[in-house]
Each structure stands twice: as structure tokens, then as C-alpha cells.
Amino acid sequence: METLIKKTKPLPIATQIKICQDILFELRKKNIHESLCLLFSKKIETNINEAVYINEVKNYMPIFTKKNAVKYANAYNQLCCYWWRACPFDFENRILFVEWMLEQLLNDNDGLPF
């Protein structure tokens, strides 16, 4: 049986910016307790109309890596399911990471949101 390999490419910068803005809004409301991987995969799915596994997020948003999370937002530098504390839920560092991502994406887009 032949294995199908899903070909992915990064989303347009404007779409990545919008996704970060949406997730940042949700995190600031502090009424969610899902991993960032899951939040991003759901938002990407909505934009491309197909399933996105959490380990594929970086294919659509290359800036979304554990290395960047460790370097810029105090993520755990070890193997574990969550990059940050889950209980109590660490909103602060998740927000910090998404803010950093948004800043980088806006810089790549000459500061223009769209």
C-alpha cells in the first residue's frame, strides 16, 4: 500500500498574523486551557479547510517552534507534552510567546497587519 505524504507550505504572512491575533485575544480572555499547539492547529484548519495535526503547525507557521518558545517565552527545555505549566495554566508565557511571534511576523510584513 502506498503512503500518502501531505505536502504543506507556510501560510501567507497576513494569515499567520491574523491567527496570532485571534489566539492572543483568546488567551487574554483566560477562558481556555488548551495547548498552543492545539489552538494553532484548529485556527490553521479553519483557514485551509483540512485537518492539521499538532506536530504539523510548524509547517504552516515556521516561527512556531519549541526552540523559539524556550528562547523567547520561558518554555520548558525538556521532553514533555506541554511547553509551559498546565496546572495552574501558564497564560503569561503563552501570551508572551504569541506576542513575540506576532512582532516577528509584523516585522516580516513591514509592520503592516494585512
**Nine-digit cell at 66?**
519549541
| Single pTM value for the model | 0.87
What is the pLDDT of the chain when averaged over all its residues?
89
Asked if residue 40 belongs to a domain, the reply is yes
Q: Provide the pLDDT for residue 3.
A: 53
Reported confidence tier of residue 8, pLDDT bands at 50, 70, 90: confident
Reported confidence tier of residue 111, pLDDT bands at 50, 70, 90: low
Asked if residue 79 belongs to a domain, the reply is yes
Reported confidence tier of residue 31, pLDDT bands at 50, 70, 90: confident
Residues above pLDDT 70, as percent of the chain: 90
Alpha-carbon span 36 to 101, nearest angstrom: 12
Number of domains in the chain: 1
Domain of residue 90, residue span: 13-108
**In the 3-class helix/strand/coil scheme, how is 38-96 assigned residue by residue?**
HHHHHHHHHHHCCCCCHHHHHHHCCCCCHHHHHHHHCCCCCCCCCCCCECCECHHHHHH
- Structural contact between residues 76 and 70, judged by C-beta atoms closer than 8 angstroms: yes
Asked if residue 2 belongs to a domain, the reply is no
